[in-house]
Amino acid sequence: MQNIKAVGFDLFNTLITMETIALKDAMVRLTNSLREMGLNVAHESFVQAYREAVLQFLQQTKRDGKESHNRFWISTALAQQGLSVSPEDPDMSPAVESYFSAFVQYTKLIPGTKEMLGILQERYRIGLLSNFTHPPAAKNIMSELGLTPFFEVVLISGDLGYRKPHGSVFEELIEQLGVQRNEIAFVGDDPEADVAGALRAGLQPIWTTYVRDNNVSPAPGMLGPGDDAPDPAVPRISNWQDLLTLLNASS
Ligand SMILES: [Mg+2]
């Protein structure tokens, strides 16, 4: 790869993985939190209604690229159960926090991640661009795993209003990294959101397949549904040594 001055990373299934059980636990915590609000929520049917609401909102997001938020999904699922709570209700915040409190517990770094970032930090500006509805939770996960100090730029879709592969979020990354777009390598696992998105925005994408190659169960709902290999010209890496080799080759 030529003339790289900055490296951007996706978060889930790129730098970190999450155990499958996390979503189940998150739903238990969410139901409990709603019950503490005095709502008579039946767990099984609420989970079903929530899933349907998520699918509905994700389809909309797929059409317009706009990020959504869990409080809309919760409100829609509650309405399905005959319970009326506005997405803007102040009680919605603790419910959302309860849901995401499960995530921290079940996430971990892909082996060698900090060492790799430490090496890159000496030579490149490093940025993060994650599709995540609730930015405080993503930032908390990064902090708990010790990732925060490596990143000069941290961008979460929930703050930006749009999700990858929408061009606007890559433009923000380019702007904040302060280098030319073709001087940025972007590393991600999702062929559409990360690879195709970065390619269209004029960055140099790198497809990471660590999770696929090592049979690690992907962070639920976060692996793109389009599992086709991206553009064959895009370099593919399976571990961090591959990445270091690829980048060293350019210097
Ligand atoms: Mg990912």
For 166-209, write each residue's pLDDT tens digit.
Answer: 999 999 999 999 999 999 999 999 999 999 999 999 999 999 99
- β partners of residue 109: 16
Contact 33, 96 (CB under 8 A): no
Structure confidence at residue 248 (pLDDT): 84
Residue 59 Cα to ligand 1 midpoint, Å, equals: 18
**pLDDT at position 232:** 86
H-only helix segments in the chain: 21-36, 43-64, 70-80, 92-106, 113-121, 135-144, 157-160, 167-177, 197-200, 210-213, 240-248
Residue 230 has pLDDT above 90, yes or no: no
Q: What are the angstrom distances between the C-alpha of 95 and each of 26, 38, 189, 197, 240?
A: 10, 12, 30, 32, 37
Respond yes or no on whether the N-terminal peptide bond of residue 87 is cis (omega within 30° of 0): no
pLDDT band at 227 (very low <50, low <70, confident <90, very high): low
Q: How far, in Å, from the CA of 44 to the mean position of ligand 1?
A: 28
Q: How many CB atoms lie within 10 A of CB 117?
A: 21
**Is the C-alpha dihedral spanning 13, 16, 238, 160 positive or negative?**
positive
pLDDT at 200: 97
Identify the bridge partners of residue 125 per DSSP, sorted by sequence position: 6
Strand partners, 8: 127, 186
Cα 16 to middle of ligand 1, angstroms: 9
pLDDT band, residue 221 (cuts 50/70/90): low
Instruction: Select from 176, 209, 215, 179 the least CA-distant residue to 194.
Output: 209
* pLDDT given for residue 5 in this prediction: 97
For residue 10, how far is its CA from the centre of ligand 1 (angstroms)?
6
The vertex-234 CA angle with 230 and 236, nearest 5°, equals 90
Residue 28 pLDDT grade (very low, low, confident, very high; cuts 50, 70, 90): very high
In this structure, are residues 8 and 173 in contact, taking their beta carbons and an 8 Å threshold?
Answer: yes
Instruction: Dump pLDDT digits (tens) for 139-153.
Output: 999 999 999 999 999
pTM of the model: 0.93
User: What's phi and psi for 82, nearest 5 deg?
Assistant: 80, 15
pLDDT, mean over the chain:
93
Distance 187 CA to ligand 1 centre (A): 9
Instruction: Quickly state the pLDDT bin for 231 (edges 50, 70, 90).
Output: confident
Query: What separation in Å is there between the alpha carbon of 82 and the centre of ligand 1?
Result: 35
